[in-house]
Amino acid sequence: MSIYKYSAAALSGEEVSLETWRGRVLLIVNTASECGFTPQYAGLEELYRKHEAAGLTVLGFPCNQFGAQEPGDAAQIGAFCSKNYGVTFPMFAKVDVKGPNAHQLFQYLTQAKPGILGTEAIKWNFTKFLIDRSGEPVARYAPQTKPEELEQPIVKLL
């Protein structure tokens, strides 16, 4: 099983298959614009720009399930990310990442890579999943893990 069987709506509303990124290393992150971890957008963008040519893509999935910290619509989210952090990596429309309406991609990721003590549920914004070139989840990182701390594991997969 790999992530390539899933798709999600981009900020533009267009449905995009994760097959688009087959053969690339992916960092999938649930994001929010009004979170204490929001400044991580800068580090995620830096990782993306530094390693994109070698095969890294960061995918951002806004989520409003944690403290209602992503209240905006797609246009507002896109404008915020671009204006404040210069985000150029692909961003998707808001999704649920936990609970009965969780997007299928996040259901798969949390089952494949449970968190601390085996809990599957995502606990907060900016949880990160590292995916290898064959579409297999290889690691899950807590919101507190800064993007720059992921450089070594990413480089190993590139």
Collapse the DSSP code of 63 into the 3-class scheme (helix H, G, I; strand E, B; otherwise coil) and give the result: coil
Query: Looking at residue 114, what is its pLDDT?
Result: 84
What residues are annotated to the active site? Answer: 35
pLDDT in tens, the chain (158 residues): 689 999 999 999 999 999 999 999 999 999 999 999 999 999 999 999 999 999 999 999 999 999 999 999 999 999 999 999 999 999 999 999 999 999 999 999 999 988 776 677 899 999 999 999 999 999 999 999 999 999 999 999 99
Q: Which domain holds residue 119?
A: 3-157
> Measured between alpha carbons, how far is 108 from 3 in angstroms, rounded to an integer?
8
DSSP state of 110: H
CA angle 7, 54, 131 (to 5 degrees): 40
- The pLDDT of residue 120 is 74
- Per-residue pLDDT, 106: 95
Say what the pLDDT of residue 117 is.
66
Distance CA 156, CA 158 (A): 6
Q: How many structural domains is the chain composed of? A: 1
Please report, for the domain that includes residue 33, its CATH number. Answer: 3.40.30.10
pLDDT given at position 133: 97
Pairing of strands 15-17, 25-31: unpaired
